Structure 1
Amino acid sequence: MKNNYLILSIILFGQLLTIMDIFIINVSIPSIQRDLQASNGEMQFMIAAYLIGFASFLITGGRLGDLYGRKKLFVIGLLFFMISSIGCGISSGAIQLVISRFIQGTSAALMAPQVLSMIQILFPDHEQRTKAMGWYGITIGIGTIAGQFLGGYFSSLTGFEEPWRFIFFINVPVCLLAVFFSVIKLQESKMMMKQSFDIWGVLILSTGLFSITYALTALEQGGFSLQNMLVIVFSFLILMYFIQNQKNRLKNNKPFLIDFELFCFKNFNLGIIAVSFFFIMLDSYFYILSVFFQDGLKISSLKAGEVIVFQGIGFILASVFSVKFILKYGKIALIFGLGFIMMILILQIIVFRFQNDYYLFCLLLFLHGLGVGTIIPSLANIAFSGMPEKLIGNASGVYNTFQQIAAIIGIVLIGSVFYYFLGEKPVMRHYHNAFTIAVILNVFCLIFVLVAVVKVPDYVLPKLLKVNPEITESSINEKFHR
């Protein structure tokens, strides 16, 4: 078991890089824009390119891991992530940086599904798996904080010309270490049955996901223009065709990309619903909070970043301590955590309207992080409980894809509502009203998450598995499968 935790620490390096590079560029935007003489639109796509590449190839990455080996795909992802990070660091223009960021996101999509897959395989026991997912949550928190801190630190270095390039070069030694230990420590795992790879399915799905993530990102930047709406319609048609194509291939015993048997597992469906609404809430919350703090409350970007870091600290602490509560109380701990987040959000609406105290803001963000850190690791645990190994890579890719697209949808939809109530010439009152409406929508999203968690069968929880030894992994599989 100690060896399994050593392996866990190795694969979590991949997760750390994936999360860190989502955030690391944000603080460096002004200096990058100045040095590369990039337009506002080009800067927006530098941020979006990573997410577009990431979301577009997660399912493909999971399926490749199933067929050709999860260790192999994890190492390949690390190597391409390192190469693309070097490409970002040496970029001489905005277009080169956008392309390198897209490749970086695609590389992350090869790594991320393997991380979740290997955790499920390494820790088949529910208690150990819950602890492992706690470390997974800690890694997300560290990646969030490290990304924002390192982005600000490297961008402000003196004595270097264009110091922002270090935010990409820092990935190189981390990738090299992770590759070295992965090669010598990780065991290969893949499907025992030989199958061909569905290249046509990859092309269709990647086109559909690329189109929809691009369109959603463009909506956030350019509004509901005719061009953006046409791209969304096109992407939905492509994805509908993909679903029908995959069903036909399964029916005719041809190579496929998504095994729709995944959606026969009740727990997986509940996990997908829960993670989707949770990330609609979470990413839109961070988006509107940053705008509200800096433009509405006139808090400096440095101070706003410091306040948000307290959220990450709360997240990490909760990921450490929530494991015991989840093992002891099962889904009751998750229900409490969701209720706690709702309470903190409502409290923020009231406090932010009448107070402007830096330390009080830090406390509220810290408490919000405690709630979030209680929930995120367990959502993946819910989705993958009872999932057979042959489907785990596919499930990881689908789960991560829903999570990323939900994050973009949240920013676009709730962000649009926020800006609608803000108006064209906003004053302080408008910022408070817009923030209130947006946070109320966040609370409604959490209600959907709460309903999904309540519907999770009690017999899947580690607490009950320990109490009743007659409940086995195979019996869970049977109960989850409709």
Structure 2
Amino acid sequence: MKSDSLKLIVILFGQLLTIMDIFIINVSIPSIQHDIEASNGEMQLIISSYLIGFASFLITGGRLGDLYGRKKIFIIGLLMFMLSSIGCGLAAGSVLLIISRFVQGCSAALMSPQVLSMIQIVFSKHEQRTKAMGWYGITIGAGTILGQFLGGYFSSLTFMKEPWRLIFYINIPVCLLAVFSGIRILNESKTMSTGKFDRIGVVLLAAGLFSFTYALTMGEHKEFGMINIILIIISVSILIYFIRNQKSRMNKGKPYLMDLKLFSFKNFNLGILAVSFFFIMLDSYFYILALFFQEGLKINPLASGEIIVFQGMGFILASVVSPQLILLYGKKFLISGLGVIIFILILQGCLFTAKAPFLLLYLILFIHGLGVGSVIPSLANIALSEIPGKLAGNASGVYITFQQIAAIAGIILIGSIFYYFLGTEPLFDDYRKAFEITLFTNIICVIIVIISIVKTPADLLLKRK
């Protein structure tokens, strides 16, 4: 029997690539725009196309794994990710880069649900699964930090022309290593099925999610206008029709894409609610914090990035130690972590001033990272705790889809609140006021997460005897 630890390492390669490539492009934007002569609108699409492809096909990716084999779909996702990364690296213009980034996102959507579902299957015992989810959290933190670091490092190299292309080529050896290791080490698992696939459901769901995420991601970079609103109305209409279509197909015994029985599991619904509001808070917080640091406190981008690295260090440290504490104290530890986040958000509103020393900023963000890192891995554990193995991929795809859409929605909604109170010609006091109000909004989101977790069974996360 192959070591479960080796299997976990291989599985987490997919998660590392998925997270790293969300962040790795951000620092390289000026270099890419200059070298391929892209307009601001084209750069928006280059950034957004990955997230649009990712969010649009996560549920489809999870269902494919359930039906045709999670190992098989995971490896196909890795190969597609490698080929699309090569396409990104070779792109001479913005059109090919946009298309390649979109395919990259679709490839990540094939990999990511298999990561969570294979963790559920490989680590069937509660204690082992909790520790594995801790490493899942570490990978998220490492991918975030590594993506930003490598993006800046490769873009600053001088030994070659257009060194930013290395941010995509670095994926090639990682994908090859993961593919060869996956073929040798991972075991296949899938739902017993006739192998039929709901293609109409894929088209409906992809169209609905594509329209929704496109409207939100483009609204992130410019004014949220009538076109965005129309797209959201269209997407909601398509998604409502999709749900009705899925109910009809299930009742008639036809192949379906999303098993609506998932929403009959109380813990799954509570986990979805918790992760949605947590990521509405978290991603909007990161977005607004960067603006407040650079435009409000006048901290340069490099120093701002260094401060946020301390946050990532806290996240990784908490992900290392939290699994054992979760097994001992269960949801009490989780609620304590959320309490730390609320306390630190209040401190930031009070202490983040123009005269705040960097040491204080490092310390506060490190503690904030500890709080975040103690929470994220367990949210997935709550949502998937009751889910049978045959629905693991479907459930993982739905879970991550809600997480991604909530993250984008948070940036738009809470970001809009920030800009509203900022005004047209903001002074430092305006930045302070806008920052404090959005922190208060974030605290409300965290309180909703706490309420969701309180409603879960008392022994859900505890060590089983």
Which residue of structure 1 lines up, in the alignment, with residue 65 of structure 2?
A: 65
Instruction: Say whether the 8 Å CA contact 1:20–1:144 is kept in structure 2.
Output: yes
- Measured against aligned partners, the alpha-carbon deviations of 1:277-304 in whole angstroms (never above 9, x if no partner) come to 0000010001001111111111111111
Count of residues paired in the alignment: 465
- The answer on whether the counterparts of 2:60 and 2:257 sit within 8 Å (CA) in structure 1 is yes
State how 1:169-318 maps to structure 2 within 5 Å. Answer: 169-318=169-318
Partner in structure 1 of residue 339 of structure 2: 339
Give me the identity figure in percent.
66
| 4+ runs deviating over 6 angstroms | none
| Coordinate RMSD, CA, aligned | 1.0
Conserved? CA contact 2:2–2:185, under 8 Å: no
Aligned partner of residue 118 in structure 2, secondary structure: helix
Indicate the residue corresponding to 1:389 in structure 2: 389
Q: Contact between 1:141 and 1:316, CA under 8 Å: does it hold in 2? A: yes
Tell me whether 1:410 sits opposite 2:410 in the alignment: yes
Deviation at 1:228, TM superposition (A): 1.3
Counterpart-to-counterpart distance in 1, 2:439 and 2:90: 40
Partner of residue 37, structure 1: 37
SS at match of 1:161: coil
Distance 2:3 2:22 in 1: 30
Q: Distance in 2 between matches of 1:125 and 1:240?
A: 37
Q: Is the 8 Å Cα contact of residues 49 and 98 (structure 2) preserved in structure 1?
A: yes
Q: Which residue of 2 aligns with 1:78?
A: 78
Once the two structures are TM-superposed, the CA of residue 41 in structure 1 deviates from its matched residue by 1.7
Tell me, in whole angstroms, the C-alpha distance in 2 between the residues paired with 1:27 and 1:77: 25
Distance in 2 between the 1:462 and 1:195 partners? Answer: 37
Distance 2:69 2:346 in 1: 46
The match for 2:7 is: 7
What is the aligned partner in structure 2 of residue 371 from structure 1?
371
Q: For the residues of structure 1 that align with 2:226 and 2:21, how far apart are their CA atoms? A: 32
Quote the offset at 1:217 in angstroms.
1.3
Alpha-carbon distance between aligned partners in 2 of 1:238 and 1:456, rounded to the nearest angstrom:
32
* CA displacement, residues 380-413 of structure 1 (integer Å, 9 cap, x when unaligned): 0000112101111100000000000000000000
Structure 1 segment 467-482 matched on structure 2, within 5 A: none
What amino acid maps onto 1:167 in structure 2?
I
Alignment check: 8 A CA contact 1:220 1:416 kept: no
Letter in 2 for 1:11: I
Structure 1 residues 233-270: Cα deviation after superposition (integer angstroms, max 9, x where no partner): 00000000000000000000000001011001000000
- One-letter amino acid of the counterpart of residue 99, structure 1: I
- 2:461 maps to 461
SS of the counterpart of 2:352?
A: helix
Per-residue CA deviation, residues 303-340 of structure 1 (Å, 9 max, x unaligned), is 11111111111000000011111010000000100000
What is the CA distance between 1:223 and its match in structure 2?
A: 2.4
Counterpart of 2:94 in structure 1 is 94
Q: CA deviation at 1:36?
A: 1.2
Alpha-carbon distance between aligned partners in 2 of 1:251 and 1:172, rounded to the nearest angstrom: 44
Matched residue, 2:321: 321
How far residue 2 of structure 1 moved from its aligned partner, in angstroms, is: 7.2
Per-residue deviation at 1:40? 1.5
Letter in 2 for 1:23: F
Q: Which residue is equivalent to 1:480? A: none
2:143 alignment partner in structure 1: 143
Does 191-200 or 18-27 show the bigger shift? 191-200
Tell me the SS of whatever aligns to 2:244.
helix
Match of 1:330 in 2: 330
Cα shift at 1:91: 0.8
* Structure 1, unpaired ranges of 5+: 467-482
> Equivalent residue of 1:462, what SS?
coil
The Cα of 1:357 is off from its aligned counterpart by 1.3
Equivalent position SS for 1:458 = coil
In the TM superposition, what is the alpha-carbon distance from 1:462 to its structure 2 partner?
2.8
Structure 2: runs of 5 or more not aligned: none
Aligned-residue offset at 1:37: 1.3
